[in-house]
Structure 1
Amino acid sequence: MKQLISSGAPWEPIIGYSRAVRVGNVVEVAGTTAQDGEEVSGATPYAQARRILEKIAAALEQAGASLEDVVRTRIYVTDITAWQEVGRAHGEVFANIRPASTMVEVKALIDSRLLVEIEATAIISR
């Protein structure tokens, strides 16, 4: 059974994606940014990463999972020199969970105000 989780973003049906998809005990959370409607939450990489992780937690909850189930994150930043800010936010959330993680610099995200995008994979083991 496949469960689709929507964030309600207007571009989901246009682009043809879901915020998250659960198949069995696996949940994949799509690239998530700090975009909230027309606004971007947070002007710094740290603040955006914290907001993104809140949104990922909410998507996981809708799928019947939690941050403790996350086994992998992928972090995209528009300026790799901000790695410590983004890493600090990630570490505050995942310090005891310690998923496998990758951080890479990308040329740009879909909106120039966006500095960070994060994907997550969770495996529900309970």
Structure 2
Amino acid sequence: MERMRQIIASGSPLEPQIGFSRAVRSGDHVAVAGTAPIGDDGSTVGPGDVYAQTVRCLDIAEQALREAGASLEEVVRTRIMLTDVTRWEEAARAHGERFASIRPATTFVEVSRFIDPDWLVEVEADAVLLRAVHQQVPPSGRGIA
């Protein structure tokens, strides 16, 4: 079986310099890198507002997933990184609006800071394409070990 590797770029001039991508699809797995609350104009969205920044991060991550052929329904893990973990409920509200029925494995962690001091949150996501998973399940109903 041939494995596909697809790179999803954000358009940042730093991607080739640093050597990173917004997301990478390898076969049926999609990994979305730490996604910051950056607006289309390059400015920080929602300064001081964890909820608004989380919504923006999720918007960017969702777009990257779509470009890789995945959807929010296929997300199996998210990581929410906050500069102040006591504000986790603000980020959780935005996360819950997208994932209440999907319920991926989720981790909230506190970090000391991000590259831009106005960023209060970054989001990572991992997805497994359901189409590929269903194709691997034999008729007995048992999964591949």
Moved over 4 A (4+): none
Report SS of the residue matched to 2:130: coil
Paired position in structure 1 for 2:71:
66
1:16 counterpart = 2:16: no
C-alpha distance in 2, partners of 1:21/1:94? 21
1:99 counterpart = 2:93: no
Paired position in structure 2 for 1:80:
85
Paired position in structure 2 for 1:111:
116
* Higher strand content, 1 or 2: 1
Higher relative contact order (CA 8 A, sep 6+): 1
Report SS of the residue matched to 1:56: helix
Shift of 1:35: 1.7
C-alpha distance in 1, partners of 2:84/2:8? 30
Shift of 1:13: 1.0
C-alpha distance in 2, partners of 1:63/1:121? 12
Paired position in structure 1 for 2:135:
none
1:2 counterpart = 2:5: yes
**Greater Rg over alpha carbons, structure:** 2
C-alpha distance in 2, partners of 1:34/1:104? 17
Quick one: percent identity of the two aligned structures? 56
TM-score w.r.t. length of structure 2: 0.85
TM-score w.r.t. length of structure 1: 0.97
Paired position in structure 2 for 1:123:
128
Deviation per residue, 1:12-58 (Å, 9 max, x gap): 11110000000111000000010235301112000000011010110
Report SS of the residue matched to 1:40: coil
Superposition RMSD in Å: 0.8
Contact 2:7 2:23 in 1 (8 A): yes
Amino acid at match of 1:125: L
Amino acid at match of 2:22: R
Deviation per residue, 1:100-123 (Å, 9 max, x gap): 000010000110000000100000
